[in-house]
């Protein structure tokens, strides 16, 4: 069992827990999907990640949403969608949100006929112990998973090697 195996198990557990935690998002919606709008969405996402505009001025996601978002209800609030629980929003939005840490900004993605960029503003705190604090349990869990996988392979090999001829 390697350190990478333990990390992969820990990351899988963190991801599963993240899917149960409440969160708060902001978004920028760009109507249409023409090439020009796609380039605009890419530039907005890059600017949001860098925190500076092409002139070198500091800019944050809220400013970009107020300036560029086509979603009129959330535009004045900087794209803030409020606090939600898993299952509250459409699946493509939740899927993107699950990939991001707090403060993370997505690449533009399609949602219905629009391009959307999201930022995770807040997430309920994790109840998972640190990697080091969970190390013993991770070793046991990872070992159990490897043993189960080996057992499945062994049983599959036995089944492939068996031939039963029933004659009545």
Same domain, 97 and 71: yes
Residue 118: pLDDT over 80:
yes
What is the model's pLDDT at position 98? 92
Same domain, 108 and 93: yes
Structural domain includes residue 168: no
Residue 140: pLDDT over 80:
yes
pTM: 0.77
Same domain, 31 and 60: yes
Q: Return d(Cα 12, Cα 146) in angstroms, integer.
A: 15
Q: Return d(Cα 160, Cα 168) in angstroms, integer.
A: 23
Same domain, 141 and 154: yes
Tell me if 117 sits within 8 A of 44, measured CB to CB: yes
Same domain, 141 and 81: no
Question: pLDDT grade, residue 75 (50/70/90)?
Answer: very high
Query: Structural domain tally of the chain?
Result: 2
Same domain, 10 and 26: no
Cα-based distances in Å from 83 to 2, 8, 22, 25, 114: 38, 29, 7, 7, 22
CATH number at residue 59: 3.10.50.40
């Amino acid at each position: 069992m390697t350190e990478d195996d333990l990390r992969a198990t820990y990351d899988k557990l963190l991801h599963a827990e993240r899917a149960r935690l409440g969160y708060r998002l902001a978004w920028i919606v760009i109507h249409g999907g023409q090439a020009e709008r796609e380039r605009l969405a890419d530039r907005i996402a890059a600017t949001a990640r860098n925190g500076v505009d092409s002139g070198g001025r500091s800019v944050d996601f809220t400013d970009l949403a107020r300036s560029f978002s086509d979603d009129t209800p959330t535009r004045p609030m900087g794209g803030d969608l409020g606090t939600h629980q898993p299952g509250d929003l459409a699946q493509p939005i939740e899927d993107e949100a699950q990939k991001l840490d707090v403060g993370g900004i997505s690449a533009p993605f399609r949602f219905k006929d629009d391009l959307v960029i999201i930022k995770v503003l807040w997430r309920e705190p994790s109840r998972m112990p640190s990697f080091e604090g969970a190390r013993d349990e991770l070793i046991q869990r990872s070992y159990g998973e490897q043993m189960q996988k080996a057992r499945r392979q062994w049983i599959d090999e036995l089944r492939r090697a068996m031939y039963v001829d029933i004659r009545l």
